[in-house]
Amino acid sequence: MSRPREKRETGEQDLFRSRLDQIINMKHELVRLAQAIDWPVLKERFGAVYSDGPGMPPLPTRLMAGLAILKHTFNLSDEVLCERWVENPYFQYLCGEEFFRHDLPFDRSSMTRWRSRMGEERIVALLQESLSIAVKTGAMKPTDTRQVIVDTTVQPKNVMFPTDAKLIHRARERLVRLAKRAGLDLRQTYVRVGKLALIKQQRYAHAKQFKRANKALRRLKTYLGRTIRDISRQIAGDAELDALFKWSLYQASTVLEQRQRQRGRKIYSLHAHEVECIGKGKAHAPYEFGVKVSVATTLKRSKGGQFALHAKALPGNPYDGHTLAAIIPDMEKTIGN
């Protein structure tokens, strides 16, 4: 992949347009932030994932890094950020634009691809730069990082509540769709009767008619089991089809066999298999479905506020006390203290 073509401050004038630095307040907080950030360091860190080669060059690093800063500073979704970027000249100045633009120079999906390409290690560079700017501007003293608070919380995933009936129904639907794409002729797809059984199970469970609800649940399991066996018979001996269905069949079999109070790994979402069921003792949310995250902050409030020094996802729902051995060295590496 070729390297991005970085924009440079040209200082050129345009007869029909005014430069952003001539129409905005240069004492605005975002303007001062743009002037304080060490953009060459970020370009070097983020540019390490690219190599000189053929193909269309990626978007400028300052544009993408500026969008990431704005997204987390104002807690915006990608869609809202794109809408605000077109309207806000300060957003555009932070991202390196010289003249006001009335259209987006990027696609919304470019932000998602950029984050996945950079990975967690290089996104940490933004956290390090924010702490460096806090020290430069006097918002935080280096001594404030000597005592920290390390705690864990849950980063909830936007998934539906994982009832057995929904998971079983979704697993069968995914297998049927995959079988159609692969050209398999299933004996029966259970599209109509499967949806009817799910509706019945939900209504009986809502009415607390648990015998009827369990009967509908057993019917859903029967439909899924038949679909699994039908596909397994048809792909037997075909290495290509076996590789194609391997993960989907594993998920479907696990969902079919798992029980409510069983120990060990369970599947709570088919499209986000990293989701765990985590209980943090909250009265309003006894159980949350997501990934455990470790967060480290300064012990005392600094002049500029409370600063986050480290954040790391902890898949597998490990015990909190067992995570410090890995988190403390990472945090020391991030803050250099």
* The pLDDT value given to residue 2: 58
* The pLDDT value given to residue 60: 84
Q: Do residues 157 and 291 lie in contact, with contact meaning Cβ atoms separated by under 8 Å?
A: yes
Structure tokens that stand for 9 in this block: 């401050």
Query: 3-state class of 167 per DSSP?
Result: helix
Q: Where are the domains of the chain?
A: 20-137, 141-159+272-337, 164-257
In tens, the pLDDT along 251-300 reads 999 999 998 888 888 999 999 888 999 888 888 888 899 999 888 888 88
* The pLDDT value given to residue 222: 97
In tens, the pLDDT along 118-132 reads 776 677 777 777 777
Average of per-residue pLDDT values in the chain: 86
Cβ neighbourhood burial of 264 (10 Å; 0-12, 13-18, 19+) = exposed
Beta-carbon count within 10 A of 241 CB: 17
**Residue 52 pLDDT > 60, yes or no?**
no
This prediction's pTM: 0.69
Residue 233's H or E segment, with its range, is: helix 210-235
* The pLDDT value given to residue 242: 93
Distance CA 305, CA 190 (A): 57
In tens, the pLDDT along 164-216 reads 999 999 999 999 999 999 999 999 999 999 999 999 999 999 999 999 999 99
| DSSP H stretches of helix in 55-190 | 61-73, 78-87, 89-94, 108-136, 164-182
* The pLDDT value given to residue 5: 62
* More confidently predicted of 188 and 48: 188
CA angle 224, 230, 235 (to 5 degrees): 125
